[in-house]
Amino acid sequence: MSEITEDRQRWLKAQLDAAEELAKIGSQALQQRRTDLGAEALEEAEVILDMAEEETDRLLELRARVFNELGVVHQRQQRLEESRDYHSRAAEICDDLMEKEVDFASNSAATHLNLSSIELALGNADRARECGEKALELLRQARESRDGEETGPDPLELGAHQNLAVIYAQQQAWEEAKETMEEAGAMAEELETAGRPSFAAQFAQGCQQLSVILFENDRYEEALDWGRKAEEMSEKAYEALGQRVLPIYVISQINLISYNEKLGRYADGEDCLWKALDVAGEDPRILHRGVSFYETCRKQADSRLEKGNLPREEVEEGYEEILQRVEAAGGLDAVRERARQMRRG
């Protein structure tokens, strides 16, 4: 009997080793944006795990990881219902492991954070908030378990704060949104100071999301504040990382043009426009937004333009220059189409 048990144990170990190797291949492929290759490896790992005759903690841990990664695969394929199903199954396993006091807090947090994002995309804000708050609590537990270790902020905790701040804002819980995003900002700045500028770019995107929600809810001054924070962090990221984060900077400037325009701060809006063109060159999105900006300014009364520190003669000069740039870039229709394609892409 013991020989049979040992054989089963050896066979189970071989199965789990194979599944773990496939899970690693799948995870690496997803990190490299090779989604099809990742899906193939992860689906094969799922089949092997389903063949296992005994459920051990290691098997459950692997299954949770594989399900979570398959959720990411389906999210990228825009199959959100299937993504939610995989993330939900992973979350259930994580909860079971945590109840058994298995050290799985960080993995569980990542799973609940992914589930939160999917629920939000599907329009289930209450469920998204519940999962997001659980992810943050799990990350805090993981941090407390590392008490005394010399470690900086956990990037996953930064993402959890940003995700939750956006959810709070969508539910119009404005103070909670502000406080949570400020916590994320402190982590992003600490990571950026430690030589990890990609998190400045990540935080800039969180600020952009929050500022847009505030703007859409007529909270224009707050939208402007967070838009400026997005600009600050995107500039830091651009200085360190260059062209690959330029689109984040461009969006920050375009947003600031809109916020200043809405508040009647036309000179500030114009400054953002030309600053963006200086940095990004003849970006079609900025050129298109520039034409729209000056056309809006031209419709204003002289007194309103004066109040916004942009007299009409300066508006006309700027309008003429932006039209010349648009013409040099192929004309307004071509610029508009390229801007539309860039927004979609």
What confidence tens digit (pLDDT) does each residue in 256-305 have?
Answer: 999 999 999 999 999 999 999 999 888 999 999 999 999 999 999 999 99
Instruction: Yes or no: say if 169 and 177 are a contact pair by the CB < 8 Å rule.
Output: yes
Residue with tokens 């999917």: 118
pTM value?
A: 0.87
pLDDT tens readout for residues 186-207: 999 999 888 898 999 999 999 9
Average pLDDT of the residues of the chain: 92
Q: What is the pLDDT of residue 8?
A: 82
Q: Is the pLDDT of residue 119 over 90?
A: yes
Size of the chain in residues: 345
Q: Is the pLDDT of residue 341 over 90?
A: no
pLDDT tens readout for residues 45-95: 999 999 987 889 999 999 999 999 999 999 999 999 999 999 999 999 999
Q: What is the pLDDT of residue 137?
A: 92
Q: What is the pLDDT of residue 54?
A: 84
Q: What is the pLDDT of residue 221?
A: 96
Cα separation values, 65 from 110, 119, 170, 227, Å: 10, 19, 30, 36
What tokens appear for 270 in the block?
């114009």
- Domains of the chain, residue spans: 9-144
d(CA 201, CA 235): 9
Phi, psi of 186 (to 5 degrees): -60, -40
What tokens appear for 181 in the block?
């995003």
The one-letter amino acid at 225: D
52 sits in which H/E element: none
**Three state DSSP letters for 178-201:** HHHHHHHHHHHHHHHHCCCCHHHH
**Can you list the alpha helix ranges (DSSP code H) found in the chain?**
2-31, 35-51, 57-76, 80-99, 105-121, 125-145, 155-170, 174-193, 198-216, 220-241, 246-262, 266-280, 284-298, 302-307, 312-328, 332-344
Give the percent of the chain with pLDDT over 70: 96
Q: What is the pLDDT of residue 148?
A: 56
Residue with tokens 């949104």: 177
**Closest to 169 measured CA to CA, from 136, 132, 200, 201:** 132
Q: What is the pLDDT of residue 147?
A: 64
Yes or no: is domain 9-144 CATH 3.30.70.120?
A: no
pLDDT tens readout for residues 120-166: 999 999 999 999 999 999 998 888 777 656 567 788 999 999 999 99
d(CA 223, CA 230): 10
